A and B are shown apart, each in its own frame.
Chain A
Amino acid sequence: MLRFIIKRLLLIIPMLIGISFIMFVIMHLAPGDPASMRYGLNPEVSESARADFSRMYDLDKPVMVQYALWMKRFLFLDFGRSLIDDRRVISKILSRLPATILLQAVSLLVIFFVAIPIGIVSAMRRNSIFDRVMTILVFAGYAMPTFWLALLLILVFGLRLQWFPISGMGPWYTAYLDGFARARDLIWHLVLPVAATAFGALAALSRYTRSSMIEAMGENYVLTARAKGLPENRVIIVHILRNALLPIVTIMGLTLPGLISGSFIFETIFAWPGMGRLGYEAIMNYDYPVVMGVGVIATFLTLLGILLSDIMYAVVDPRIRFEGKK
């Protein structure tokens, strides 16, 4: 087990190198450089000031040299400085990361605690009205442009009904509130972003739970359990649920890339001060070091999540042995 974890952790390294290289090359293949983005329309800026700016951020060197320099600093978790405000990229990201992790973690919890019960009930009362309504909702969920859902949530619950705030993590006076009021306020602000973030995965996971349950229900050991005269509750909870929920653990890993991809959109729509919005703004501003930093951290988080779900899979299912695989 430990060997497997270490092996997988080591595999993250070549993945990060590959992905960072791809991103780096794409960025530098692009026409338009940060210096002209920044000073292009300003006649006051002399050629030499522009050259100074480029030299300061190594932008005058060939791409490969720049990548090597970037890699060297990356080994010490130094992503350089932002081209926009000259703050250290790592501290910029670290200041935004908690907001993103909070949003993602709450969304994941909501996805699991809502989708799994829906899937179970749908499977147990197959073709009931509940199941049919859920099937329709699931189809809608697959096809839903979730950023549009976010807009609808803002329109209905934020602007018309005025139930929930539509942007940010809290009002300016948050810092002056006491712990309880602050937490309540934060939860208040989380409702709409979480609803938008969770929706897509909710549909997929509840569908997955349903079919996994249905499959488990048809197994012979369920028939045996019933034949033994076990109470129905026990059959469902111990025999069906346990086996049906196993594969769902792996789905957690697969929902993560989608959630992180979504954070770039939803954090922008809801003005959530997280890493996704930082990344979006950095892209818009041609802020190379920040783009690289956000990309690498986002990838790392995704890989870590996938690894975690693999490990959890091994823990919950003793039949899985990673050593002898392949």
Chain B
Amino acid sequence: MNKRMIFGVTIIAIMALTAVFAPFVATHNPLAMDLSSEARLQGPSAEHFFGTDNLGRDVFSRMVYGARISLSVGFIAVFISLGIGVFLGGLSGYYGGWIDTIVMRIVEIMYCFPTFFLIMMVITFLGPNIVNVMIVIGLTSWAGLCRLVRAEFLTLRERDFVYSARVQGVSDMRIIFRHILPNAMAPVYVSATLSVGSAILVESALSFLGLGVQIPTPSWGNILTVGKNYIDYAWWLTLSPGLAILVTVLSFNLIGEGLRDVLDPKLRERK
């Protein structure tokens, strides 16, 4: 583990603990409004670490609860895309032939499509809520993983241990998932870690546009929406959620890069 990775793991651990123990970390009720003029849009202070928003809610507490949204969307979306990507990539790489052709065509379409537009459409028409956001991000982000798994399978399926398993009469599914897959996972872990970061970015952009987590439930993205409306008077509303997103995504990327160095020295960049 290098220094960067340790930094990443530390930050994510803190974020995860914050998310899990949100009720204990938060200093105020994130939904409690105070519409008196002296409580609204206050700058950072000892009472309100990150100030208050337009409805007098404590931004720090909203951020703490927002960590739950970002992390859970990140992880669950990536689990979904992992499931699809590994399954299709495995089948495609192992069997080749028409399965491969079809899967690769779909992957190509996913690559060429301005995915964000598709995500926006699906979310709007199927209803903006956190479950839909997770599912849609997962459904639109598996193409890269699928390619990766396929490439691994293409080389692994010719290896002796696969032949010997086949000679012993092991079923195809068992060969794919018990024999080949474990050997193909190293780059998948790396790519999945990096995907968590990008899923968090997409979620925050959606929430920012009003298409993700709906108010009053706090998320980093929708705090920024309020920040945008009051950008001229309340910079703290814009600064803190953005920084939180940046640091969280950065940490996931650092962990991903670190994992790459640990798991696969061949991929390490020449220094």
Contact = CB atoms under 8 A, between A and B. Distances in A.
A145 B245 contact: yes
Interface residues of B, number: 42
Nearest to A279: B117
A257 B144 CA distance: 14
B83 interface: no
A132 B156 CA distance: 38
A143 B117 contact: no
A286 B122 CA distance: 12
B21 interface: no
Given A18-B109, A260-B114, A269 B228 contact: yes
A305 to B, nearest CB: 9
B270 A264 contact: no
A84 interface: no
Given A26-B125, A29-B126, A264 B117 contact: yes
B116 interface: yes
Interface residue tally on A, bucketed by range: 35 or more
Interface in A288-309: 291, 294-295, 298-299, 302-303, 306
Given A143-B253, A257-B111, A265 B209 contact: yes
B131 to A, nearest CB: 15
A299 B112 contact: yes
B253 A139 contact: yes
Contacts of A264: 114, 116-117, 120
A69 interface: no
Interface string B118-155: 10111011110000000000000000000000000000
B144 to A, nearest CB: 11
A133 B209 CA distance: 32
Nearest to B111: A257
A147 B242 CA distance: 9
A140 interface: yes
A54 interface: no
A151 B254 contact: no
B190 to A, nearest CB: 14
B238 interface: yes
A162 to B, nearest CB: 12
A32 B247 CA distance: 38
A26 B122 contact: yes
A257 B121 contact: no
A22 B108 CA distance: 15
A261 interface: yes
B112 A154 contact: no
Nearest to B116: A261
B224 interface: yes
B24 interface: no
A23 B242 contact: no
Interface string B171-196: 00000000000000000000000000
Contact of A151 (B228, B249, B269): B228
Q: Is the interface of A mostly helix, strand, loop or mixed?
A: helix
Contacts of B245: 145, 148
A145 B120 contact: no
A283 B127 CA distance: 12
A159 B201 contact: no
A269 B208 CA distance: 10
A142 B197 CA distance: 9
Given A143-B246, A299-B112, A152 B238 contact: yes
Contacts of B122: 26
Nearest to B220: A145
B125 A30 contact: yes
A27, A147, A298, most chain B CB atoms within 10 A:
A147
Nearest to B247: A143
A152 B227 CA distance: 11
Given A257-B112, A280-B209, A148 B250 contact: no
B61 interface: no
B238 A291 contact: no
Contacts of A265: 116, 205, 208-209
Nearest to A166: B231
B204 interface: yes
Interface in A186-230: 211, 214-215, 218
A140 B114 CA distance: 23
Given A144-B249, A154-B231, 8 more contacts: A140-B250, A142-B253, A145-B205, A147-B205, A151-B238, A261-B116, A261-B117, A295-B117
14 contacts: A26-B126, A27-B125, A30-B126, A145-B242, A145-B246, A147-B205, A148-B246, A151-B224, A155-B235, A159-B232, A265-B205, A280-B120, A291-B121, A302-B114
Interface of B: 108-109, 111-118, 120-122, 124-127, 197, 201, 204-205, 208-209, 224, 227-228, 231-232, 235, 238, 241-242, 245-247, 249-250, 252-254, 269-270
